[in-house]
Structure 1
Amino acid sequence: MSTDHQKYSTENQAEIIAAYAGRRNFQIVRNYADEGRSGLNIAGRDSLKRLIEDVRSGAADFEAILVYDISRWGRFQDADESAYYEFICRERGINIHYCAEQFDNDGSLPSNVMKSIKRVMAGEYSRELSGKVFTGQCRLITLGYRQGGPAGYGLRRFLVNENNEPKAPLARGEHKSLQTDRVILVPGPEEEIETVSRIYKLFILEHRSEREIATILNGEGRTTDLGKPWTHAVIRQILSNEKYIGNNVYNRVSFKLKQKRVVNDTDMWVRGDGVFEGIVDPALFEAAQTIFAQRARRFSNEELLKMLSDLLACRGVLSGMIINEVEEMPSSAAYRHRFGSLLRAYELIGYQPSRDYRYVETNRQLRLMHPEVVAETIAGIEAIGGSVTSNASNDLLLVNHEVTLAFVISRCQSTAAGSLRWKVRLDTSLRPDVTVVVRLNPDNKTVKDYYLLPWLDIGHKPKLGMAEDNGINLDSFRTDDLSPLFHLLRRHTLEGPL
């Protein structure tokens, strides 16, 4: 049953099924009901999945399955899917009875023909209904009514009646109860509106990135309307969504009949411009979109290097800061992403910095790698059922409220003789229970191995020098991956008397 407002309520179905069972001398031993679920696919139908699993596993203690009609078995868009689930049951000697149909599901030719037609009709009904609903929703969008989804920071949902007269604000999780009512967006609390305006000014006038803006707001102790910290994605959504200038935009993404999620081209979007009160100046919004468009422009390698050469000819020197100061140029990060490093880009235009910046590039690579290693470790610990909290000030992890972990990434250096060396500096002030040392390969981009150093044995030493072979006292803590760490942190059940 997909909604309560239809003849297919589970109570009505149960009455018809009970009457059918009485006429056939069946005893109903178990009920499977998917209330408030669509029959388009099996994904959200937990009861149907449980029914099929009971049949497959041999746990079914019944000889027949009674269904109201073919559409309640499912409005699958592929009629063969409906037949497949019925075949699974019939293969194990359990027949399906469609109680409200005008034919018996006895395997005869007329029965099979009617059943096939009804399956196709059930799927076609959903397709036709989907088209009608979509047309109605598009009309409501152009009139300024909201079609689902949260309002967003700085905005709120408000309920109006069929005459567009205000009724009441809607809190998060609340929905309209009357079919004739509509939902519109209205400006939210003044404090949130001021914050939205400030986000636009930081982005446009001060050239702050989304991540920098999020850091500023989090540093001030501010949270989103959901009470969560600010992120790059939340800031980007505020800067790019047209609802902040009063436009209602629909059909950016299609997920019709729950088949495939499709990102639509802009010419397929349904719009209602200026249909409710915006909280952002349209000029500021357009300026933000211009910045996004400039970012998205795809320059060729030749164009990037030409701009870099022109900048060198103008300034005489190059650096990441100098590149970032030129508004019409891509950022230094774009050059690193395209050519692997700034030094490689400099080399391609024949520029040799007066200083050797290879060490700087390696340091930058280590800074980028550190959060990735920490995130992968947290995911691994959570995958085994552990809990992890991170100290933002020092990146120290607390696992299961018991064990602390610190991470050190050690670059690889080659001696004049060609041997490999690693220098490890440990922060003894943190006193972590285990320090995870990540040794890099000579390219200083990929991981060679790990050392799990306990504080009691080694962690208290401020510096360690490592070679390719370090003897049993140190190499006994070496591992090719972090699976031993996850095994160490996994909780194990104690059996027997304590």
Structure 2
Amino acid sequence: MKRITKIEANEKLQMTNKKLRVAAYARVSTDSREQLASLEAQKNHYEVYIKNNPDWEYIGLYYDEGLSGTNMAKRDGLLRMISDCEKGLIDFIIIKSISRFARNTTECLEAVRKLIKLKVFIYFEKEGINTGEMESELLLTIFSSLAESESVSISENETWAIQKRFQNGTFKIGYPPYGYKNVNGKMVIDEAEAEIVRFVFAECLSGKGCYMIAKALREKKVPTKKGGKWSSSGVKEILKNEKYKGDVLLQKTFTDSQFNRHYNRGEKPQYYVKDHHEAIISDGDYEAAQLIIDQRSKEKNIVTEDDKYLSRYPFSGKVICAECGATWKRRTHTSSKDKYYTYTCKTHLKDKSKCGQLFIRETDFEVAFINMMNKLIFSKKVLLQPLLNSLKSINQVSAFARINELEAALEQNFDQRQALTNLLSKQYIEPALYAKQNSELLAEAEELRKEKETLYRSVNGELENAEAVNRLLKHINDSIGFAEFDAEAFEAHVDHIVVYSRSEIGFMLKCGLNLKERL
């Protein structure tokens, strides 16, 4: 009888020609102005770093948005990466530092051990630790413990320093409200924005509600501080903010021992500073506005619903008159035979001599959008794909590299300020020396932030346009043609419509293209 002996395969030989599948993990800012550029900068860094190793294959960058490292359960990007490791899609992970991975020792070790069981190892760049080396576990325990205690220490130092500044009235507002800006650490009036603040209070005192004031600001095309659109809650925040009369209420929020932020409803002391900075609104006008808001709430039982009526119809607020610049209003036309909806220029409605544009039926806009999308399906290879290739070919490698350098410098600057605060809290240095050195570090940090902001602005435009073109191409590739109006597609890809005449309009797409259509 034949006797068969199985000779096991040599796993090491099997792995000889197989590339290591490498992913990276990062945390990025929650600030929409910074997030896209920061993400691209880190993606570019890791892609170059990993692809330069001929034995590695770049899997991608997993990330979370500015979330605290103290709780893994809230970090979707990290959990998705671990899930992909369980599916066998990743062999190796690169992370900048242990503190970016976790500041909770128990969670850190549990996650690392789970990944080691899956034969997935992590390399922490800053500490130089590779979890694939068994002797690294002791180092990992030490460093993760340090990261956890550092998190607590930083929080305690910051709280101590902030409390001192609260008590002596020297606390600096890091992000001034609309109407103000920081100049050399002081809040000063931004006159252009201050005019809008005065307008808001004047409208309130004339009897208008927050919704009507927000609507007026949107019609005037006045952007919010972050470039968005005004809502009733945004207007109410201005009307309720004591900073506009020159005062400051400090410690409106606080962070608990688990690093969760809460509104201060009496759990912590608060400090009210009179005449902290130059006022935009007088005490009398501010107090009168509070009485009006409170009275209206009592009489009408007002419930804030920011955007309840802002997007009832797809074209609302998105049709712009080329003749006078005003937005167009939706109206109902009724005749003995028919009932239909139209859009009409608001200037024309008020005074026909100031704008001669006549109304356009809502269905005409819908048909024009259908035609435009169908044309894009047939012309994507000669219009959209070349545009996307052009945007992607813009060389931003040096900008991304500089962003990474600036972020590292800002992190180092922060660490230096924390160390300085720690020395002061233990009375190892004099307050005068602390103030001098801390002021120098803050000035340096401000210069670094300004340079980073400039770089972000320069690259964000191209990145956002490329992203918008990519979304449009994907939508078109998934469709064989449009037979009826798709409100979701319009919202996703069109920024606004420009009406040139009753027979011609232009769709301003979010990717920067202006496509004209005949009606």
Report the TM-score when normalising by structure 1: 0.44
**In terms of Rg, which structure is larger?**
1
Larger proportion of helix: 2
